[in-house]
Amino acid sequence: MVSVIVPTKDCRKTISSLLVSLHDQKYPHYEVIVVDSSTDGTDKIASEYDSVKVIRSPPVGPNLARNIGLKNAQGEIVSFIDGDCVAERDWIDLIVKEFDKDKSVGCVGGSVLIDGSAFLGEYMDNTLFTIYPKYSQGGVLTDKDFQDHPFGKMRVPVGCNMAFRRNVLEELGGFRIRWRCPYDEIELFYRVLHQGYKININPKILVHNIPRPSFPEMLRQVYLYGMGAGNFLRTYHLSLEKRAMGGAKGLFNTILHSLRRYRNSRRSRTLLYPFVDILVGATYFVGLVKSYFGGYYPEIKNFDLDTALGLKEGHAF
């Protein structure tokens, strides 16, 4: 059985599309758990779907929601998707097949496509600095790969399209709840690989994401990713210089791949991409350097962790 966990916060406009896509999955044995901390009625919409479990959570961050979902899950495989995404019909089926290939696979992930025809959606799907991975081929990541090329050989998955063996998550203690900055899933992938498990990548494991509504919001997201990257390197005492070399190699490969993709876009819009790339790259770099040298450890206050982790369907925090 597979448990699909959806951490949500203010996803009123998108949650129905996600739940419809999950209801129509090819794989027969699964459950859907929505862990919600919204103020816009997302939980009420999700509760209208009979097969969906809805649990209310304090607005502390996705990692708490993911751990609450994990504690209420019944599946041997636990997959995660966000409330602003839509899953392909074979999403769960392909995840299960990846785990069946090798018992040492602890995590599985795939591609994320940005939906939308406006400039922002098109740019985010074709930019040099793609926020979400868009794999051209599959592969396997090991601890050695990550140590040598964390930003170079192949990108690790992201939180809106990832799955784990439940026993692996439990062995590692789940997600770090007090890690409240982006890169939270990267931190977990690091522990998964360091424990000796593999991460399988399959580009056909596909979800669609609705883009940020404005360019400033996208820049803020990129800045926070940079902050999270710096915090990750600082926390695990990883060399910024070595990671920069790996990132440079990855950037070179990305440029070659992206130039081919640019040709498929409208010419007038394509000409704007390099200028936006510079701004996006600089924003990420500023966040990374600030966090790496200055630290970024936001505190969680005013809630009882044990009580939150004990929340179940129908209970409110």
Instruction: Give 3-state DSSP helix, strand, coil % of the chain, rounded to 5.
Output: 45, 15, 40
pTM, two decimal places: 0.82
Determine the pLDDT at residue 8: 95
Determine the pLDDT at residue 255: 54
HSE, side-chain direction, 13 A CA sphere, residue 209: 24
Whether residue 162 is predicted with pLDDT greater than 90 in this model: the reply is yes
Residues 278-290: pLDDT tens digits? 787 788 888 888 8
Q: What is the average per-residue pLDDT within 131-150?
A: 78
Q: Which residues contact 288 (CB under 8 A, 6 or more apart)?
A: 226, 227, 229, 230, 233
Determine the pLDDT at residue 210: 79
Angle at 65 between CA 64 and CA 71, to 5 degrees: 90
Whether residue 3 is predicted with pLDDT greater than 50 in this model: the reply is yes
- The residues pairing with 114 across neighbouring beta strands, listed in sequence order, are 209
Report whether 199 contacts 156 (CB < 8 A): yes
Is the Cα dihedral 175, 302, 59, 69 positive or negative? Answer: positive
Of 42-46, 117-121, 250-254, 261-265, which has the strongest mean pLDDT? Answer: 42-46
Determine the pLDDT at residue 116: 60
**Strands 162-165 and 85-87, sheet pairing:** unpaired
pLDDT band of residue 201 (cuts 50, 70, 90) is: very high
**Of 118-127, 183-192, 263-272, which range is least confident?**
263-272
Residues 57-95: pLDDT tens digits? 988 888 999 999 999 999 999 999 999 999 999 999 999
Greater confidence (149 vs 2) lies with 2
DSSP 3-state assignment of 38?
coil
Of 7-16, 150-159, 241-250, which has the strongest mean pLDDT? Answer: 7-16
Mean pLDDT of the chain: 81
pLDDT band of residue 53 (cuts 50, 70, 90) is: very high
Portion of the chain with pLDDT greater than 90, in percent: 44
Q: What is the average per-residue pLDDT within 126-132?
A: 65
Q: How far apart are CA 43 and CA 8, in angstroms?
A: 9
Q: How far apart are CA 110 and CA 35, in angstroms?
A: 22
Determine the pLDDT at residue 304: 52
Of 28-37, 137-146, 174-183, which has the strongest mean pLDDT? Answer: 28-37
Q: What is the average per-residue pLDDT within 1-16?
A: 95
Q: Which residues contact 187 (CB under 8 A, 6 or more apart)?
A: 176, 179, 232, 235
The residue count for the chain: 317
Report whether 154 contacts 141 (CB < 8 A): yes
Burial class of residue 199 (count of CB atoms within 10 Å of its CB; 0-12, 13-18, 19+): buried
- What is the token pair recorded at 190? 């690091």
Report whether 142 contacts 198 (CB < 8 A): yes
Q: Cα 4 to the chain's mean position, in Å?
A: 14
Q: What is the average per-residue pLDDT within 224-237?
A: 80
